[in-house]
């Protein structure tokens, strides 16, 4: 019961309280996708349940199953996968669900309200298009699609459909990100002058393969036919945050991609460094590496008066009265007023190192994703966005800007891959621009 209340009520109460602090109308103007995430909206669906079918029952599909089983207004009625090991494992979690090996058969079922797609990236676009055409509300894992043409086809289909479409851009539903973005866009920290994100891991990104012919099926992330590599798998989340806080898109991108360490036959880079350049001169500096995890994951928004690390849920002020006491103490130690530096527990070293004091974005306990899991972590917003999708399956209400933000982030990732592959600066092509974009 506690988990159910957390999934369904925690963010809703947070949005209600934050609206009172920031002015409800102003808050929802900057985060319009949260308009349905209120206690009142949840009460409207009463005891109705969204009947959900899941296409793709691997690790991420099973992660969604765990969350769906905690959502009172969701019922899993069907599962589909063309790999029987995954399908059997998922079926054990939901014994009452019907099983399919052909997703078209699942889409033909009239008793399914919404579909969750958790397949390899290369299949996202076609299944999404087929699901919308079948009249199903649709939720797809990130990234939106494998190619720019597929992204545009999905976006166009959505604009012509009356069905709800979500992509798993869970940071848009993570409380520390929501509050942090609200603080930034309100001007509290001054003008945004740059963005700096990174995601480091130390693992080969491989999964065990029981038989050689299953290599590409299981380790699809390593092959360009199915995957956009680190950019679509990791950077898509972080770039979405950057463009969202400035409400603009970069005009061009350049970068270097290499296979530095994992020389095991993979086709995608294990090291990427990219710069996304805006027309006004601001930049997103992005770096990802999977052979060293020391730096972990950070989503830093650099403002004139502060640095906000949304991933960690903290901000650092450029001028901070809290650090003056530490500086004074250090000066007294240097001049011999004190013979020794008194210890200050675990907070002492970071203050000595940087002279910046972290301030929490939220005034309550919250979870921080260290970025090491390949599947998903608890309380990163994934459960909440799935809950919102299930609500849309009942009400038919579309979530504003979620599809558009997924489109923006995915196209930037794909253009970055092109820039790295071709060793050149790539300008955002006019044919893939959509009205939502502001350059």
d(CA 135, CA 115): 10
Give the model confidence (pLDDT) of 53-89 as tens digits. Answer: 999 999 999 999 999 999 999 999 999 999 999 999 9
Task: Please tell me which residue, 182 or 39, carries the higher pLDDT value.
Answer: 182
Query: Is the pLDDT score of 340 beyond 50?
Result: no
Question: What's the mean pLDDT in 218-231?
Answer: 97
CA separation for the pair 93, 105 (Å, rounded): 21
- Within 13 Å of residue 87, how many CA atoms lie on the same side as its CB? 16
CA-to-CA distance for 166 and 162, rounded, in angstroms?
Answer: 13
B/e letters for 34-71, b = 16+ CB within 10 Å, e = fewer, are bebbbeebbeebeebbbbbbbbbbbebbbbbbebbebb
| Cβ-count burial 288-301 (b if 16+ within 10 Å, e if not) | bbbeebeebbbbbb
pLDDT digits (tens, 9 = 90+) for 262-308: 999 999 999 999 999 999 999 999 999 999 999 999 999 999 999 99
- Domain boundaries of the chain, sorted by first residue: 2-172+379-405, 191-370+420-432
Q: Which tokens go with 185? A: 């866009």
What pLDDT is stored for residue 1 in this prediction?
A: 36
pLDDT score recorded for residue 353? 42
CA 120 – CA 118 distance, rounded (Å): 7
* pLDDT tens, position by position, 160-176: 999 999 999 999 999 99
pLDDT digits (tens, 9 = 90+) for 113-132: 999 999 999 999 999 999 99
Global pTM value: 0.90
Taking the domain 191-370+420-432, which CATH number applies?
Answer: 3.30.360.10
Peptide bond into 143 cis (omega under 30): yes
The phi, psi pair for 415, rounded to 5°, reads: -70, -35
pLDDT at 9: 67
The reported pLDDT for the residue numbered 366 is 81
The pLDDT-based confidence of 325 (bands split at 50, 70, 90) is low
Per the prediction, the chain carries an average pLDDT of: 89
In the prediction, which pLDDT does 342 show? 40
CATH 2.40.30.170 fits 2-172+379-405, yes or no: no
Binned at pLDDT 50, 70 and 90, residue 354 comes out as low
In tens, the pLDDT along 393-406 reads 999 999 999 999 99
């Amino acid at each position: 019961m506690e988990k159910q209340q957390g999934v369904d009520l925690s963010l809703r109460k947070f949005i209600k309280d934050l609206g009172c602090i920031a002015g409800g109308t102003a808050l929802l103007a900057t985060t319009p996708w949260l308009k349905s995430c209120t206690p009142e909206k949840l009460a409207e669906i009463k005891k109705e349940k969204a009947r959900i079918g899941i296409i793709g029952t691997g690790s991420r599909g099973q992660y969604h199953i765990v969350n769906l089983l905690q959502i009172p207004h969701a019922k899993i009625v069907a599962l589909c996968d063309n790999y029987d090991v995954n399908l059997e494992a998922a079926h054990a979690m939901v014994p009452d669900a019907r099983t399919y090996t052909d997703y078209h058969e699942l889409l033909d079922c009239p008793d399914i309200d919404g579909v969750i797609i958790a397949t390899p990236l290369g299949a996202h676009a076609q299944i999404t298009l087929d699901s919308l055409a079948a009249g199903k509300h649709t939720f797809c894992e990130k990234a939106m699609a494998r190619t720019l043409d597929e992204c545009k086809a999905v976006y166009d289909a959505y604009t012509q459909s009356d069905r709800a479409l979500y992509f798993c851009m869970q940071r848009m539903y993570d409380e520390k990100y929501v509050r942090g973005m609200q603080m930034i866009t309100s001007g509290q920290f001054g003008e945004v002058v740059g963005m700096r994100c990174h995601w480091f891991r130390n693992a080969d990104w491989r999964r065990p393969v029981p038989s050689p012919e299953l290599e590409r099926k299981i380790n699809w992330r390593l092959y360009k036919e199915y995957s956009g590599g680190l950019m679509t798998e990791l950077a898509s989340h972080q770039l979405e945050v950057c463009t969202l806080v400035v409400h603009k898109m970069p005009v061009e991108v350049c970068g270097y991609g290499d296979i530095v360490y994992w020389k095991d036959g993979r086709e995608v880079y294990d090291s990427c460094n990219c710069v996304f350049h805006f027309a006004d001169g601001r930049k997103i500096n992005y770096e990802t590496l999977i052979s060293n995890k020391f730096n972990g994951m950070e989503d830093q928004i650099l403002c004139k008066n502060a640095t906000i690390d949304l991933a960690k849920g903290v901000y650092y002020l450029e001028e901070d009265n809290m650090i003056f006491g530490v500086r004074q103490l250090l000066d007294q130690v240097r001049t011999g007023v004190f013979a020794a530096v008194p210890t200050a527990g675990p907070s002492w070293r970071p203050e000595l190192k940087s002279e910046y004091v972290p301030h929490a974005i939220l005034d309550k306990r919250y979870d921080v994703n260290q970025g090491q899991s390949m599947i998903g972590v608890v309380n990163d917003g994934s459960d909440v966005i799935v809950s919102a999708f299930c609500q849309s399956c009942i009400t038919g209400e579309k979530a504003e800007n979620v599809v558009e933000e997924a489109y923006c982030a995915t196209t930037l990732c794909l253009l970055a891959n092109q820039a790295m592959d071709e060793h050149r600066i790539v300008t955002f092509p006019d044919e893939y621009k959509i009205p939502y974009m502001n350059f």
